[in-house]
Structure formats: C-alpha cells, structure tokens
Amino acid sequence: MHPCQNRIALRGPSLTFRGDPFQIGDTAALHYEADGLTLVEAGKITGFGDFEQLRSRLDGHQLTTYDNALILPGFIDTHAHYPQVQMMGAYGKQLLDWLNQYTFVTEQQFHDPAHARHVSELFLDQCLRAGTTTASVYCTVHPSSVEAFFEAAKDRDMRMIAGKVLMDRNAPPALCDDARSGYDESEALIRKWHGQGRLSYAITPRFAPSSTPAQLEAAGALWRRYPGTHMQTHISESRDEVDWVRRLFPEHANYLDVYRYYGLTGPRSIFGHAIHLTEPEWRHMADSGSSIAHCPTSNAFLGSGLFNYERALEYPAPVRVGLASDVGAGTSLSMLQTMGAAYKVAQLGHYSLSAPRAFYMATRGAAQALYLDDRIGSIAPGMEADLLVLDLASTPLIDFRMRYCRSIEEALFVQMTLADDRATRAVYIAGKLAYDAKETMAGNNAYALEAQAKKNAG
Ligand code: GUN
Ligand code: ZN
C-alpha cells in the first residue's frame, strides 16, 4: 500500500479539549491551534499541535489544508432513535400522546428489514452530513431493525452504539416482546455485534412504563451477564410520565429507584432527559456513575421542561452529561443546532452555557458520558481519527457575522447559534474521508436528476 493511503495530515485552525471546562474553566480546558496539524496513521491520531512544530513529521502523509475552517473531533450524539427520522416534526402532542399517535405507528414499519436498512442508511448519512460520527441509538423492538442498523454502520466503519428496544406492555401488540424473548433476542444480538469492529451494544428498555417488572429484571440480569455493554433508557421527561411511573411502581421511592432496583444504573448507563429529577435521584445518578443525555430541541418541541444543567454539576461528584438530538422528538440531527438550543434552555433557567462548554458537551464530554473518552471525542495521539471540518462561513450571513468575531470563543458561539449541517465541510471516519461537502453538492444534483428522470418516465 502506498504510504499516503493510510497516513493523512489535516492542516487548519483546530480545536479540542484537554480537560473539562466545567471543572477547570473554559480557558484551561480549551486547546485551540490557530494553525494546527493533525497527523493520522491507520485510523488513529499520531500527533496534534502547531503546524510549524510538527511539520518535520509530515513525510509520507497526504496533506490537506482547510482555510476559513475549524477542525475538531467529530460530534457525538448521546441519544437518538433512527426509525424516527421519518416522523420528525409531527404536530401538536406532548410525550405520551406523541408516542401513541406517531411513534408507535411509525415503529411498526420496522418489522420490514428492507425498510429498516433504507432508513438506517439515511440516518447514518444524515449524521455524517451533520458532522456526527458516533451516536447512541434506539432501534425498534424488531431484532432485524438492529441488524439493519449495525450492518449500515459497519459499512461506514462508524463507532456506533445501538440496541433493540425492549417493551412488553403499554404499547401496541405488534411492538411488544416479552421478558424471555426480549432477553434472548438481545443476547443473540450482543453475541453477534457487540465489539464487532467499532460497534457496541446497548441494552435498551424503552422506559419503565413500557416494561413489566419481569422485563426490567431480565434486562438487569442481561447487563450483569455482559457488563461491557451499555444500557440506555428514558427518565423523567414529562410530568405525566413521572406520575404514571409512580402509579405503576408505587413501592419505589422515585423513578430512578425503579432502574436502580433492577440493576440498571451505573457506569455505561445513559438516561435520556432527566428533567424532573428529585434530590435523591440526582445523588444516585452521581454516586452510581450513571450518565444523562440532555436533549434540548426535543424537550422544547414536546414541551417537556427545562433540563437543569447547573444541578447536574453540583454535589461533590458531578453527573456526566452529553448532548443529544433525541430525533425524532428532536428537531435536528445537527449538534450545532442542539448546542444552540441547550444555550436557550440554560437562559430560560437563568444561567449561561458558554460556547466552549457546549462544544465540550458534544465532543469529549459526550464521550465521557458514554465511557468512550479513551477512544473518541478528542484530538490527541492514540485517539481514533473521527474528525469534523467545519466551514466557518457556511452562509452569507454567517460569513458576514464572523468578520466581527474577535476570539475563538465568540466564533464558536456564533457557529452554535447560527450554523447547521451546511457548515460541515468534511468528515473523516477512522482517518478516511467519509463526507465531503463538495461531492455532496454533486450528490444532491444526482438526486435531482434521478427525481427528474422518474418524473419524465412517469
Ligand atoms: N420515552 C419513551 N420512548 C420515547 C421516545 O421514543 N422518545 C422520547 N422523546 N421519549 C420517549
Ligand atoms: Zn428518546
């Protein structure tokens, strides 16, 4: 193989985090190189720093230079439902009605492997287009929906976490498994997919109301049996849901206690939303090393409430929090848009979320929430080379506005407030160019041509 084929170098303004800005402050945490160089070999980062200082190591690397851009770790979306891309923007309901009226109708279509494969491909391509290189993903109750997703992710060599949804009550019969079949099907999927390439399995009880105690018990037993897997579920998203859990599980002190009791809290567990937590729940989140996926566009869209990030940081050990789209209740796969929404949620809670902190929550902080920060989320030697190149002038308005930015912090804030997937100039997956905006322009045209051809034929 020609040396250049697995050795690449990216030159341009670059950004990563060397620590947690919530702990050590924004300035100490941010590592910005105005003229940065990232060296990559065989899918891993081998060097990162100032171009002049590293240029002697360039030999044998294929160099690409990006101007008016920002190179950063690929974004990480800590909670999304791939089948729900086809029902984003469904009008007029709050959580429980929205689930019954839209979600449970849509998800029934995923018994069809071809449909699941088609939507998986679309979801992953849209993730790439948004600059997201890793996500923690809910499939549907159908094992084939997981097969389809993992196959599509494997084809793209993307680091993805996913799992079969477990639910055995309070959902249409066509979407219900049972405690035994849910366990067996999940176990077969774990054996086949967990640790294959860059894929990891998440045991996925949808949320406490849609699982019987027997199913939650089985999910806990499965996780104990395969402790390297992840566990994902929802918690305390809407007040009606919290009341419902209180009625369904009257013997438990609170919502999180249900999950705790069945062995579903701890490292590598990630809880979507966590808006209406009580003090004991916050404490158990921290003490157990459980993580939260903060889903601001979804919470606004469904009118669920305002996540309290400030509270997550209190207590001697703060809770790990990553940002998430929660598509299809979320209204965008773009983590830039998600950061902008997180800022607005914070403002409504009367505190401010700085741009470095928001970017952290979508990169290294999200990786920490998923317990993957030793592999992804930073630009540093040894890390997997999932990299995003942002165009800092992706629209004429942003181009104009950026001329008035005087610092990297200001520039980041303008990007998270005004930009979206149009800002993705390129994405590298394990050191390979996986998305290039220039080629996609051609791709879009091809799509238009195909549509035109169909129209002509019809
Ligand atoms: N709670 C249980 N299932 C879901 C889901 O699919 N989306 C959201 N936003 N909340 C849920
Ligand atoms: Zn969700």
**Rounded to whole angstroms, how far apart are CA atoms 339 and 363?**
11
Atom of ligand 1 nearest to the CA of 237: 10
Q: If you count them, how many residues does the chain have? A: 458
Which of 88, 75, 84 lies closest to 120, judged by CA? Answer: 84
Residue 384 pLDDT exceeds 90: yes
- Specify whether the CB–CB gap between 252 and 265 falls below 8 A: no
At residue 456 the predicted structure's pLDDT band, cuts being 50, 70 and 90, is low
Which ligand 1 atom is the nearest neighbour of the CA of 326?
A: 9
Confidence tier at 385 by pLDDT (50, 70, 90): very high
Ligand 1 pocket check: which of 95, 139, 165, 242 to mutate, most ligand atoms within 8 Å of Cβ? 95
Whether 361 contacts 322, CB under 8 Å: yes
Q: Which residues contact 91 (CB under 8 A, 6 or more apart)?
A: none
| Averaged pLDDT, 302-318 | 90
For the beta carbon of residue 450, count every other beta carbon within 10 angstroms. 10
pTM value is: 0.96
Q: Which residues line ligand 1 (CB under 6 A)?
A: 81, 95, 99, 103, 206-207, 234, 237, 298, 326, 329
Are 230 and 270 contacting, i.e. CB atoms less than 8 angstroms apart?
yes
Amino acid identity for residue 100 in this structure = N
Tell me the pLDDT tens digit for each residue of 352-382. Answer: 999 999 999 999 999 999 999 999 999 999 9
Q: For residue 272, report the distance from its CA to the centre of ligand 1, in Å.
A: 8
Residue 308 has pLDDT above 80, yes or no: yes
Tell me the C-alpha distance between 70 and 131, whole Å.
Answer: 12
Please state, for a pLDDT cut of 70, what percent of the chain lies above it.
95
Give the C-alpha separation, 29 to 360, whole Å: 9
Kindly report, residue by residue over 127-169, the tens digit of the pLDDT.
Answer: 999 999 999 999 999 999 999 999 999 999 999 999 999 999 9
| In the predicted structure, residue 452 carries a pLDDT above the cut 90 | no
Domains of the chain: 3-74+378-442 (2.30.40.10), 75-369 (3.20.20.140)
Going by alpha carbons, the residue nearest to atom 3 of ligand 1 is 206
